[in-house]
Structure 1
């Protein structure tokens, strides 16, 4: 099957070489625009059929600034109740909510600038499409629908992070410093309009023939999430939940998606294209077209590589030690390990020796030394407090919860990438699963619960829970109407979607961010304040606007 991995181009190459209008997005951010001549391809190229198609493909590549990146993960995994900081990294202040997390934040600046570059690509394509010839009208309409899906996607990320932003729906062609912040209401109106207009012209199928392109169910899933989020924002409307219900039911019933029988297979290496995936952001193994790559494989790993009998390898990953699961995650979210298999299938439980020899023990001092041959178990994480006397009988080190540190802890296995070319490669090549059916089921259950339809909500979420069960435990995992409440969804989404760049957004829309961080994240609990439900507007954006903060106000508290 032809995939959009082949269609994606490296963003900088396409945007700089072909789309002068994308460069011009800086005009909305800079009073002085310095341009370098880097291609003889003129601005009119985008008005040709080839240029238009290249422009659409380039619009997708902006997704790579968010999904599977350190910035995307820091904004959504850090500063929540499910993860705290590991030992390494220079962005801990985003988890700690200290005063370093201010308007000079590099991640905020990068997300802002990259999102607006993508938005302006979309704006240019929408405005120029009527003059483009040589493309069948039906194909052009489909491509425009994809572009509206993407523009809505970028604005949805921005409005959740920053609140009201610059709502720019036309191509930026000349430098300007006259910029204002739209309201959240206006931004949500634009997002809903784009997705509503896109849905009829997107292919009504599980996968596009060019895998990776937006489809009708992808837009319906996204719009359902938009309504679910909008319902607790300043843009809320009385029918948000009922509209989400209709859309999410269509995704579940109309296109042939299924929950994979085994939860572990959803994120299995080499199984990125499967019947649970609704939309994935494309990466590749070609360094010329992979941009910065999918980097999710490095962030959730423990320091296995400095332990006796172990060295770093591609199978176990390059451990950046950024995100350590909280006690709440390990002891509450995954408390049921007898019936629910998701703890067992979400974490790495043992490491096999790839450095044979005899060593003094490092953390499990129940024995003085350990000896390994290649392939022997070197580290075992049982997930419970094994007594020292029992540990002493094991010919390997046993890492129990009382021995967890900011370097040693259960490592999430969802993003491991053993297909990297060597053990230091940062630019992973796995697709990033952005939308999947289990999320659709859980969002639908939540939308039904919000409307008082608890029995129906239980019917839908039980599909996810039965799939999560150990064999023979399916009926035990089922819930009924009396079990359905907000806390159920708070925990169930953590169990199912841990680490998948959703948690901060979930806590915010539930109105629980402050409470849950204070309860469960010891790194951030003392510093988080009411204003942290929004991120800081980048200072360089404010400085570029005529009138500065008076014209483009900073979010309160920053």
Structure 2
């Protein structure tokens, strides 16, 4: 049975950091306060569970994909995402193209800023009241480790997104009208301090799937060290995770995405979504976001097996070009190129096409006119989908990411999925180790870790073709490899920022965003409502460029 950490609504306690300008009249019908809730072991346990749930606001969600994966070198706007910088109905076009990215972007504010600070405030409440709540000593140590880890986790998202930010280590229990932006280095000192406590306090294993464990905390610590240029420390922790526990790469890349095998030896930490969708406070919708509009094509109708097409994101031509599918199994495991006719009404299928025959083919290669004329099915080739410079030609029909497909949904109209959203997995830890080793000047070691990943990805009989030589290892090669391995897994924007490659690679590989991106876009805008709310505006200024 799939277990999960229950969603605990603690909205009254998880307030945002800064005050609102409007006068608020508070009504608390239950009379609950932090002092009353956190005086018992049960209250503390509920509080810690509540901190986890804030990941559900962006992992497996459209907002999180827009903030963490889009506006990079590997994704661009599909038809239903809007193709201009206007915020319009959806706020993400400006996040993807950097045109019109303003201080009022609601997803920057409502998801990244407010939810991370709400989670941090809840962690601060737990840490304040934990020592006097009657929790058994051993359990108290574990819960402190989890709360500290999660506080560091959310602070990392904030500091990487916004730079200098307010650092709050005690609960916000009254309205605050001033705020100070703490230097990035100081924020990171606190993140490291919390994580060092966490990796000694958190147990190695858990029976409560979705809860953080020591190896998962160490994997994140490796990423944080790498982000701060502490490459030897990053390498040490990554190697410990790879060799010190029972985690191992799955035999095939495709098996990672099986709905029946989500809890496996490669996943270190995931947002676990229940099969009872009512418990999820909003389920995983990743399966809808990358899917093209297949259901309007001859011979096709929307069904459960083929998915719910929201037509939001499409791959850049660059992303597709990174794969040699003759050698690398990850292309076909990651992307869907062919759709089989499912329309039972023969009058809605082309003449001679039967149910189960190919109805649509999308291909990153050009096809000849003769080939096209010889087929009954609809073809979208390289030139149909993209212009010569890589700008999309057709934003409705394209090679679609299939990693997150969920054929277990109840109906074809069900948009929510019980699929878990992987946050940390062993495949990425190998890539973190490779990057750290490259930064240390050890290309042989970097190639070793890359080849572990590439060997697993090799098409049967093509392992030799997949191996990379030490001389070929560069930071750009590692970023290419991360794209092949991790596309869509909500890490790309942070990857490009960490390696100082965001502007360079977006300009080179994403023609929709290339004209607009500037160096200052390596930070998000501080929400204007937060700046407007404080009285010390001279001390709490907007990021440059916004």
For this structure pair, what is the TM-score category when the shorter chain's length is used for normalisation?
A: over 0.9
Q: 1:465 to 1:2 in 2, by over 3 A?
A: closer
Instruction: Report which stretch shifted further, 381-390 or 186-195.
Output: 381-390
Residue 84 (structure 1) aligned with residue 76 (structure 2):
yes
**365, 375, 389: which one aligns with 1:384:** 365
How far the C-alpha of 1:370 sits from its partner, in A, is 4.3
Which residue number corresponds to residue 34 of structure 1? 25
Q: Are 1:21 and 1:171, in contact at CA under 8 Å, matched by a contact in 2?
A: no
Structure 2's unaligned 5+ residue stretches are 82-89, 386-393
Q: Are 2:76 and 2:313, in contact at CA under 8 Å, matched by a contact in 1?
A: yes
Residue 509 (structure 1) aligned with residue 498 (structure 2):
yes
Which residue number corresponds to residue 539 of structure 2? 551
Q: Are 1:352 and 1:377, in contact at CA under 8 Å, matched by a contact in 2?
A: yes
Q: Are 2:328 and 2:459, in contact at CA under 8 Å, matched by a contact in 1?
A: yes
How far the C-alpha of 1:459 sits from its partner, in A, is 1.2
Instruction: Report which stretch shifted further, 272-281 or 38-47.
Output: 38-47
Q: Are 2:18 and 2:179, in contact at CA under 8 Å, matched by a contact in 1?
A: no
How far the C-alpha of 1:380 sits from its partner, in A, is 2.3
Q: Are 2:18 and 2:533, in contact at CA under 8 Å, matched by a contact in 1?
A: no
Which residue number corresponds to residue 366 of structure 1? none
How far the C-alpha of 1:293 sits from its partner, in A, is 1.2
Which residue number corresponds to residue 237 of structure 1? none
Residue 518 (structure 1) aligned with residue 519 (structure 2):
no
After the TM superposition, which residues 25-174 of structure 1 pair with which residues of structure 2 at under 5 Å, given as runs? 25=16, 28=19, 32-43=23-34, 44-89=36-81, 90=90, 91-99=92-100, 101-110=101-110, 111-133=112-134, 135-174=135-174
Q: Distance in 2 between matches of 1:356 and 1:388?
A: 29
How far the C-alpha of 1:399 sits from its partner, in A, is 2.6
Instruction: Report which stretch shifted further, 394-403 or 497-506.
Output: 394-403
Residue 330 (structure 1) aligned with residue 328 (structure 2):
no
Q: 1:392 to 1:370 in 2, by over 3 A?
A: farther
**6, 10, 15: which one aligns with 1:15:** 10
**211, 224, 249: which one aligns with 1:259:** 249
How far the C-alpha of 1:420 sits from its partner, in A, is 2.3
Q: Distance in 1 between matches of 2:424 and 2:277?
A: 25
Q: Distance in 2 between matches of 1:393 and 1:124?
A: 67
How far the C-alpha of 1:40 sits from its partner, in A, is 4.5
Residue 271 (structure 1) aligned with residue 261 (structure 2):
yes
Indicate the SS of the match to 2:38. helix
Indicate the SS of the match to 1:71. helix
Q: 1:296 to 1:253 in 2, by over 3 A?
A: same
Q: Distance in 2 between matches of 1:330 and 1:360?
A: 32
Q: Are 1:28 and 1:179, in contact at CA under 8 Å, matched by a contact in 2?
A: no
After the TM superposition, which residues 108-507 of structure 1 pair with which residues of structure 2 at under 5 Å, given as runs? 108-110=108-110, 111-133=112-134, 135-205=135-205, 208-231=206-229, 240-331=230-321, 333-334=322-323, 336-357=324-345, 369-404=350-385, 405-507=394-496
Q: Distance in 1 between matches of 2:97 and 2:444?
A: 39
Superimposed CA distance per residue, residues 510-534 of structure 1 (whole angstroms, 9 cap, x where no aligned partner): 1111111111111111111121111
How far the C-alpha of 1:34 sits from its partner, in A, is 3.2
Q: Are 1:308 and 1:359, in contact at CA under 8 Å, matched by a contact in 2?
A: no
- The CA RMSD measured in Å over matched residues stands at 1.8
How far the C-alpha of 1:83 sits from its partner, in A, is 0.8
Q: Distance in 2 between matches of 1:142 and 1:30?
A: 39
Superimposed CA distance per residue, residues 418-439 of structure 1 (whole angstroms, 9 cap, x where no aligned partner): 2222222233221100111110
Superimposed CA distance per residue, residues 175-221 of structure 1 (whole angstroms, 9 cap, x where no aligned partner): 1112111011011111111111110111123xx11111000011111
Q: Distance in 1 between matches of 2:131 and 2:294?
A: 57
Q: Are 1:312 and 1:423, in contact at CA under 8 Å, matched by a contact in 2?
A: yes
Superimposed CA distance per residue, residues 413-466 of structure 1 (whole angstroms, 9 cap, x where no aligned partner): 111122222222233221100111110001101100100111111112111000
Superimposed CA distance per residue, residues 475-505 of structure 1 (whole angstroms, 9 cap, x where no aligned partner): 2211121111112102111111111111111
Indicate the SS of the match to 1:324. strand
Instruction: Report which stretch shifted further, 137-146 or 417-426.
Output: 417-426
Indicate the SS of the match to 1:351. strand
Residues matched between the structures, number: 527
Q: Distance in 2 between matches of 1:196 and 1:30?
A: 38
Q: Distance in 1 between matches of 2:268 and 2:126?
A: 25
Q: Are 1:163 and 1:184, in contact at CA under 8 Å, matched by a contact in 2?
A: yes
How far the C-alpha of 1:375 sits from its partner, in A, is 2.4
Q: Are 1:308 and 1:378, in contact at CA under 8 Å, matched by a contact in 2?
A: yes
Indicate the SS of the match to 2:259. coil
Which residue number corresponds to residue 86 of structure 2? none
Indicate the SS of the match to 1:380. strand
Q: Distance in 1 between matches of 2:415 and 2:541?
A: 37
Instruction: Report which stretch shifted further, 261-270 or 154-163.
Output: 261-270
Tell me the TM-score normalized by structure 1.
0.91
How far the C-alpha of 1:129 sits from its partner, in A, is 0.6
Q: Distance in 1 between matches of 2:144 and 2:278?
A: 27
Q: Are 2:149 and 2:198, in contact at CA under 8 Å, matched by a contact in 1?
A: yes
Structure 1's unaligned 5+ residue stretches are 232-239, 362-368
